[in-house]
Amino acid sequence: MKFGYFDDAQREYVVTRPDTPLPWINYLGSEEYFGLISNTAGGYSFYKDARLRRLTRYRYNNSPLDMGGRYLYLREDNTGTYWSPSWMPTRLQLDEYECRHGQGYTVISSKLNGIKSSTRYFVPLGESLEIWQVTLTNENESDADLSLFSAIEFCLWDANDDTTNFQRNYSIGQVEVVDDVIYHKTEYRERRDHFAYFACSEKLAGFDTVREDFLGTYRGWNEPVVVENGQSCNSEAHGWQPIGSHHVKVHLKAGDQKQITFILGYQENPKDDKFDPLDSQIINKKSAKKALEKYLQPINADKAFYELCEYWTMLLGKLQVSTPDEHTDRMVNIWNAYQCMVTFNMSRSASYFESGIGRGMGFRDSNQDLLGFVHMIPERARERILDIAATQLKDGGAFHQYQPLTKRGNNDVGSGFNDDPLWLVLGVAAYIKESGDWSILDELVQYENESGTESPLYEHLQRSIQYTLDRLGPNDLPLIGRADWNDCLNLNCFSDTPGQSFQTTTNKDGKVAESVLIAGLFVLACQEMAGIARHCEDHTEVNKVQNAAAEMEKTVWGAGWDGDWFRRAYDDFGHVLGSKENTEGQIFIEPQGICVMAGLGVENGKAVKALDSVGEHLATPHGIVLQQPAFSQYYLHLGEISSYPPGYKENAGIFCHTNPWIMIAEAMVGRGDKAFDYYRRINPSAREEISELHKCEPYVYAQMIAGKDAATHGEAKNSWLTGTAAWNYVAITQHILGIRPGFDGLEIKPVLPSDWNGFEATRSFRGVRYEISVKREGSGNDVSLEVDGQSIEGTVIPLPNAPLTGQEPKTVKIKAVVR
């Protein structure tokens, strides 16, 4: 069952009924000011950090699930009937409803009793404010007297404090209402130099800033007493819960239309210029007034909206494809790329599943996210890499997370996730392949953000590799530490007390438990390092990493191979995991993906064997589960993985992040049908028809789909902020479609499903616009290339000789034939 449809021409998903199985959300903002917005206008806004600078309040895990947002109420003043044009929170049945989620904006439209309303929400580029453009139309034959109320609930800025420290919070709330603009200035009198403002383009009939006056003490957002009465209280908040609500009276003649604009903004002032007059406690509003003057003019707001659309056209335009499969096209051209950008902006901080309070930026997560957006904005990837690398420890290890505001490593979680540093090598390699910017290797970067420790990024990469070599276990496989990619495989934690962290409770010395996944990842990282070192003519390093990789490969074929698949790990007792010897957890997806991606077994047939085992034991119609058989109980020596009921999360859930590794592996052994089949199984657009089961948005990937052991097999959770976005993008674009950036140029090497006769693509790469046409003329995967009519050797397009910066991109035509 569907709850809407894709409008690909507009690059929008159109929700056609408000009661979606879960709130289907979108993101506003792309630089510093962000918002989450659901299809019924739920959500909240923040500046830079969803915990420390939250503008509006949001209560997670609430009932109803999505309550609190950017609400409007419409009221027919002659009958007293009132409703929410976004359906929530009044839930009065609407005659028409539609929500269009686009890139960085959402438009919610509806109609009731002949009154049409359409609200466009977006954040202009370069601004720390959001605009709500409301258009009201009277489609009746008679005039309408309407009241329009806005409503947001301010938050006390530190969202964590906001949900805990009421003995203080209830006394500190402060507002100013000046010239019909509502200013929220809680804590501004002391250490804050920022405030929020909420304004309307119209002359007000009234306003409210006291929540209980607006709602009525025993009422909810679904029936505010002020809206019911059609009259604001002009209330001024002193403590308690400051809100912002405007009341506008609108007289609309039959057939008339009116546009009303609301602006919610965040403003910082210089510390010594906070007040106006200086010796007062009144906010200096000059800067906010400037923004208001500009954007309350519809012409400027419209212009900002078109600029936002053009910005996205530019970003998405870096790669556009036209294939025989519409789900592939819309994910690659629009939604998967968009999700990669959102994931880059948010890391794992704020979604409907991540509270915005908890996690910092993950070291491994950020390096992987980069794989999905680097082609759109390489300069931001560069910045991100340097930030991440500066949190690396001197011994090559890494803080598992760092805080986006301070950019410092997070001490609470610390380090010791032994896969972390290797992802840095992959991230840097991806950046250089895309941009050709070798100079990043010479950037002087600190360790642990300590001045005086600066060394070239190149050395950071060397230390990352060395970190693994310094930590080999009894079988010569890499020691796992607190966990590897699978945060929940905690072989050194042995946690038996509720509330303990599975990741940071360490009561084993960590000298025994080993990871085959890290072994595979190490080989992969060594290959990238060899490519980098070769270019730098550092032959010693090339030899070193090549030998180390060969040695590690040998080790894997010994202790890491189980006969039909790659093993997963050795536990603290030295017992194998992910082997026929186990009764539960016999086979895991991660080492099959990563080891084959590193090329292990591709030549000797073992890769195919491992992948066939994946097909046999792990694949389901809804995607590939993480392991089998699921753990039936909690095992002290395995940790969090066995804490989940079977079929959920890491305990045999379809952890979507890992599925593309298998797609890539299948492409590497030349099996395009299988690669694409796995791609289709978890492609959200291809799952749109089963939205009642899938539940999450059909336009973005979710972290997890419940596995076959779960009661709700096929149900997705944790949409938006997941490494799934980047890896699926890489799998489909670089390995199935085979458009792959390399150190020496763009490679074209598709491994297509057999029923495709080809596809077309345009790809911007290092200042060149490649127009690519691929035709299948045989049933194999051999590729021959013509560049502007000239056939070339191999599958890598030579780079153009002339530097191309600052000019119109040169267009090059590529013809590829697959036989």
Note the residues at the interface with ligand GLC (CB under 6 A): 348, 362, 364-365, 485-488, 640, 649-650, 703, 722-723
Sheet holding 181-184, edge to edge: 4-7, 12-15, 96-101, 105-112, 115-122, 129-138, 257-268, 194-200, 181-184, 175-178
Backbone phi, then psi, for 368, in 5-degree steps? -80, -35
Say how far apart CA 440 and CA 429 lie, in whole Å: 11
Which alpha helices (H) appear in 202-297, and where do they start and end?
211-215, 225-229, 286-295
Taking the least distance from each CB to ligand GLC, the nearer of 465 and 626 is 626
* CA-closest candidate to residue 585, choices 641, 535, 539: 641
Maximum alpha-carbon separation in the chain: 85
Taking the least distance from each CB to ligand GLC, the nearer of 120 and 482 is 482
Taking the least distance from each CB to ligand GLC, the nearer of 412 and 808 is 412
Q: CB of residue 583 vs ligand GLC: minimum separation in angstroms?
A: 23
Q: Residue 421, Cα to own-chain centre: how many angstroms?
A: 21
Q: What one-character DSSP code corresponds to residue 93?
A: P
Report whether 671 contacts 643 (CB < 8 A): no
Whether 487 sits among the annotated catalytic residues: the reply is yes
User: For strand 54-56 and strand 71-76, is the pairing parallel, antiparallel, or unpaired?
Assistant: unpaired
| Residues pairing with 194 in the sheet | 268
By the 10 Å C-beta count (0-12 exposed, 13-18 middle, 19+ buried), 216 is classed as: middle
Q: CB of residue 8 vs ligand GLC: minimum separation in angstroms?
A: 29
Which alpha helices (H) appear in 683-722, and where do they start and end?
691-694
Report whether 41 contacts 20 (CB < 8 A): no
Residue 432 CB contacts under 8 Å (≥ 6 apart), including other chains: 438, 440, 441, 532, 743
The full length of the chain comes to 819
Say how far apart CA 760 and CA 74 lie, in whole Å: 48
3-state SS, residue 506: coil
* 342, 621, 661 from 682: Cα distances, Å: 19, 9, 13
* CA-closest candidate to residue 88, choices 104, 65, 113, 106: 65
Strands, E assignment, 634-734? 654-655, 702-705, 716-719
Taking the least distance from each CB to ligand GLC, the nearer of 640 and 715 is 640
**Which of these is catalytic: 487, 562, 572, 709?**
487
Taking the least distance from each CB to ligand GLC, the nearer of 392 and 486 is 486
Say how far apart CA 348 and CA 719 lie, in whole Å: 11
Name residue 202's amino acid.
E
Q: CB of residue 639 vs ligand GLC: minimum separation in angstroms?
A: 9
Report whether 750 contacts 818 (CB < 8 A): yes
Taking the least distance from each CB to ligand GLC, the nearer of 174 and 703 is 703
The CA-CA-CA angle for residues 655, 659, 663, to 5°, reads 180
Name residue 495's amino acid.
S
Q: CB of residue 798 vs ligand GLC: minimum separation in angstroms?
A: 37
Residue 299 CB contacts under 8 Å (≥ 6 apart), including other chains: none
Residue nearest to ligand GLC (CB): 487
- Count of alpha carbons within 13 Å of 385, Cβ hemisphere only? 32
H or E element, residue 621: none
Taking the least distance from each CB to ligand GLC, the nearer of 51 and 740 is 51
* CA-closest candidate to residue 532, choices 465, 446, 471: 465
Q: CB of residue 642 vs ligand GLC: minimum separation in angstroms?
A: 12
Taking the least distance from each CB to ligand GLC, the nearer of 462 and 503 is 503
Backbone phi, then psi, for 405, in 5-degree steps? -70, -45
Taking the least distance from each CB to ligand GLC, the nearer of 513 and 752 is 513
Report whether 174 contacts 238 (CB < 8 A): yes
Q: CB of residue 722 vs ligand GLC: minimum separation in angstroms?
A: 6
Q: CB of residue 393 vs ligand GLC: minimum separation in angstroms?
A: 18
* Residue corresponding to tokens 């509806």: 110
Say how far apart CA 4 and CA 14 lie, in whole Å: 5
Taking the least distance from each CB to ligand GLC, the nearer of 132 and 502 is 502
Q: CB of residue 644 vs ligand GLC: minimum separation in angstroms?
A: 7
Taking the least distance from each CB to ligand GLC, the nearer of 101 and 364 is 364
Say how far apart CA 237 and CA 231 lie, in whole Å: 17
Q: Residue 533, Cα to own-chain centre: how many angstroms?
A: 32
Taking the least distance from each CB to ligand GLC, the nearer of 230 and 409 is 409
Q: CB of residue 397 vs ligand GLC: minimum separation in angstroms?
A: 16
3-state SS, residue 495: coil
Catalytic residues: 487
